[in-house]
Amino acid sequence: MKAGDAFDELDPSEGARILAEELAPAVLAGAVPQRRPVAVFVAGQAGSGKTMVVDLVLAALAARGGAVRVDRDAYKTAHPGYDRLLAEDVRTAGVRVRADTYAWAARVEEQVRLRRFDAVVEAPLGRPEEFLDEVAAYRRAGYRVELVALAVPEALSVLGVLDRYLRLAKQGRPRFVGWDNHDACAAALPAVLEVVEAEGLADRVTVVRRSTDLALEAVYVNEVGADGCLVRPAGAAKAVLAERRRPWDAAQTGRFRRELAAADRRVNDPRLPEDWALAVRRDVERAAALAEPLRRTAQPLTRAPGVDYHRLNADEHEFVFEHVVAGMMLKQVVAQERPRVVYVAGQPGAGKTRAAFLVHRTLPDVVHLSGDHFKALHPDYWDLLTSGSRRASAAIRADYRAWQAKAEAYVRERRGTLLIETTPEDAASFVAGALTFRRAGYRVELLVLAVRAADSRQGTAHRYARVTKLGAPARFTTGAGHDAVFQVLPDVVAAAERLAVVDQVTVMRRDASALYRSDPTAEGSLRHAGAALALLAEQSRPYTDQEAAQFWAIQRHLHQVMPQYRDDLVDIAARAIALMPYARQPRRLDLYGRVAALPALCRAG
């Protein structure tokens, strides 16, 4: 049945009796006449949260003595045939009593305006013309009119409709909303807002959204000034559409997936009548489909909770690359006749940024790419750092590495010179990347930083301390994340030389002194293949007395400024002790000490 096909209308005298004896006394009770009454309309599609907003507005108007709530859906239960109609067909029951409930609401509003009561109206937008006439009636009656519009994506409102249906079904009175009704109201809201602002039908228009903790947050406010005009250009409709299309963050996506799973379980509850369940069973899949363009991509985790939602959806990911990476970071690419790419490789904390800066000064028109540049573009990164997460980089790795790969391809296609800071995951991925540049006609160079594990771990801690002192969120790489790169680095260097995918390999200390440099022969192969040995030798080189003194001085400082990471600092020190000069090693405790000779036990006799 379509809306308007059939109604179970009451006898006019019976309808008038119910209104006079039951509805009106209950609805109008507690309201107080006002010299300058206020009518607040709350608009949005079904399931968007209008009831919650109405409750909040009523609580605020209680300070003025009390207001009348106008809610057509609530009047359905007063219809004497409603329960019978629910038993016959839950999908059409509300439609068949609509004529009476709308007539009752119109009579209630006439009484409200006549007695000059404040009113809070849940606006039905399925009939936009009637809604606009209703607003105009309050204006003619001398009311201050305010309109609150809920900017809620249809995926959430469909899920909201389903949640309410299942909640009321437990009470035996489910409230069904068809897809056509929901979609028509959602489509009408922007158009209604345009008319309201253009014709000045409301003294104030507010657009609100539901935040992660289900609280309300205003995203747009406009009102009529003393001159009778809006104080800012009309934009409520655009605000609603923008909010509906705004990509979700990880928290919103996670909450939606959990609520969707819970709704699916509730729909399939055997205690729910089969015909009632059948009426809404497809709503779960529809909500999921409507959320597809907005929600994040699920990423599996090896630890609890087993999944997260920090992967951007395809549209948001592409938007960042096109408008920020390509549009801003890479717009000055200069083509070279013989382009070069220089990789600066090392584990976290090894000093890649400083080494890259030195290389940068020697290369004209170079494009410098670093994972840190792309991490900062992810909308979740700074929130993750602020929350104290040490896995912020891992959570957004899929997106920022994809941006970097696209950026490398973008520059390579334009034959620009590249400087790339890299923390390789494995030898194969590095070889594949270097080989791509070789095939594109690039000269490929690899500069590897040879730094002890203890020094680079300390470097990550020292960086964290410096940045947090400035009041900014900082990253502190985990030991496991550091070690994964540290252990694979010799394999990367060995493979680069053995397979001749680079033209030159340089192994360099953190202080910029070169330990090893390989050069190609005329045939293209490298004369030497000792970079891996040079790297390993430096990583295990004993500390000089001066280096040891500096290491322990930094350790003492770190223990003072970041005591919450004591276990990490102890682990850093443990890695260094074996390479320390004996005089610089921590003093060992003598667990037994010297024991004086005991006198012989004398026995009597």
Tokens of 232: 């800012």
Q: Is the pLDDT of residue 594 over 70?
A: no
Half-sphere exposure of 471 (CA within 13 A, CB side): 0
Half-sphere exposure of 14 (CA within 13 A, CB side): 10
Whether the CA torsion 193, 198, 202, 208 is positive or negative: it is: positive
CB 493 within 8 A of CB 534: no
Q: What's CA 379's distance to the chain center, in Å?
A: 7
Q: Is the pLDDT higher at 132 or at 605?
A: 132
Residue 112, pLDDT score? 95
Q: Is the pLDDT of residue 455 over 60?
A: yes
253-287 tens-digit pLDDT:
999 999 999 999 999 999 999 999 999 999 999 99
CATH tag, 12-246: 3.40.50.300
Residue 520, pLDDT score? 59
User: What percent of the chain has pLDDT above 90?
Assistant: 78
Residue 604, pLDDT score? 61
Residue 587: pLDDT band by 50, 70, 90 thresholds? confident
Segment 433-448 shows an average pLDDT of 97
| DSSP 8-state code for residue 117 | B
**Which distant-in-sequence residues (6+ apart) come within 8 Å of 452 by Cβ?**
538, 539, 540, 541, 575, 576, 579
Return the minimum-mean-pLDDT range out of 301-305, 500-504, 542-546, 562-566: 301-305
Q: How far apart are CA 107 and CA 102, in angstroms?
A: 9
| DSSP 8-state code for residue 35 | S
Residue 42, strand partner residues? 122, 148
Q: What's CA 324's distance to the chain center, in Å?
A: 18
Q: Is the pLDDT of residue 591 over 80?
A: no
Tokens of 520: 């190609």
- Give phi and psi for 298, each to the nearest 5: -75, 135
Segment 383-411 shows an average pLDDT of 92
Residue 4: pLDDT band by 50, 70, 90 thresholds? very low
Residue 325, pLDDT score? 97
Tokens of 501: 């995918």
CB 85 within 8 A of CB 93: yes
Sheet containing strand 443-449, strands side by side:
366-369, 417-422, 340-345, 443-449, 504-508, 514-518
Residue 605, pLDDT score? 46
Segment 3-25 shows an average pLDDT of 81
Residue 306, pLDDT score? 86
Residue 62: pLDDT band by 50, 70, 90 thresholds? very high
The pTM of the whole model exceeds 0.85: no
Residue 140, pLDDT score? 94
Could you tell me whether strands 216-223 and 307-311 are parallel, antiparallel, or unpaired per DSSP bridges? unpaired
SS3 600: coil
Length of the chain: 605
Q: What radius of gyration do the chain's Cα atoms show?
A: 35
Residue 305: pLDDT band by 50, 70, 90 thresholds? confident
Highest mean pLDDT among 91-95, 204-208, 579-583, 595-599: 204-208
Instruction: Report the first-to-last Cα separation within the chain, whole angstroms.
Output: 118
Output the CA angle 563-564-568, nearest 5 degrees.
85
Q: Is the pLDDT of residue 528 over 90?
A: no
Residue 578, pLDDT score? 92
Spell out the domain ranges in the chain.
12-246, 339-541, 543-588
Q: Which of 456, 425, 450, 452 is nearest to 530 (CA)?
A: 450
CB 551 within 8 A of CB 543: yes
Residue 124, pLDDT score? 77
Q: Which of 331, 201, 308 is nearest to 252 (CA)?
A: 308
Residue showing tokens 């009476």: 100
Q: Which of 422, 425, 402, 406 is nearest to 414 (CA)?
A: 406
Q: How far apart are CA 493 and CA 487, in angstroms?
A: 11
Residue 43, strand partner residues? 123, 149
Q: Is the pLDDT of residue 408 over 50?
A: yes
Residue 297, strand partner residues? 311
Q: Is the pLDDT of residue 450 over 90?
A: yes
CATH tag, 339-541: 3.40.50.300
SS3 2: coil
Residue showing tokens 């440099």: 517
Return the minimum-mean-pLDDT range out of 88-97, 109-118, 449-458: 88-97
Q: How far apart are CA 18 and CA 362, in angstroms?
A: 89
Segment 382-398 shows an average pLDDT of 89
Q: Is the pLDDT higher at 526 or at 161?
A: 161
| DSSP 8-state code for residue 321 | I
Residue 599: pLDDT band by 50, 70, 90 thresholds? low
3-state SS track over 489-537: HHHHHHHHHHCCCCCEEEEECCCCCEEEEECECCCCCECCCCHHHHHHH
Return the minimum-mean-pLDDT range out of 384-393, 471-480, 485-494: 384-393
Q: Which of 77, 95, 87, 98 is nearest to 18 (CA)?
A: 77
Cβ count near 155 (within 10 Å): 22
Residue 2: pLDDT band by 50, 70, 90 thresholds? very low
Q: How far apart are CA 210 and CA 156, in angstroms?
A: 10
Residue 1, pLDDT score? 38
Q: How far apart are CA 306 and CA 300, in angstroms?
A: 6
Q: Which of 102, 22, 109, 103 is nearest to 67 (CA)?
A: 109
| DSSP 8-state code for residue 33 | B
Segment 317-343 shows an average pLDDT of 95
Residue 214, pLDDT score? 60
198-237 tens-digit pLDDT:
999 999 999 999 876 667 899 999 999 988 899 999 999 9
Q: Which of 146, 147, 134, 167 is nearest to 44 (CA)?
A: 147
Highest mean pLDDT among 297-311, 392-406, 582-596: 392-406
Residue 173, pLDDT score? 87
Q: Which of 367, 365, 361 is nearest to 419 (CA)?
A: 367
**Which distant-in-sequence residues (6+ apart) come within 8 Å of 32 by Cβ?**
64, 65, 66, 117, 118
3-state SS track over 296-307: CEEEECCCCCCE
Q: How far apart are CA 535 and CA 238, in angstroms?
A: 58
SS3 103: helix
CB 372 within 8 A of CB 525: no
Tokens of 1: 């049945």
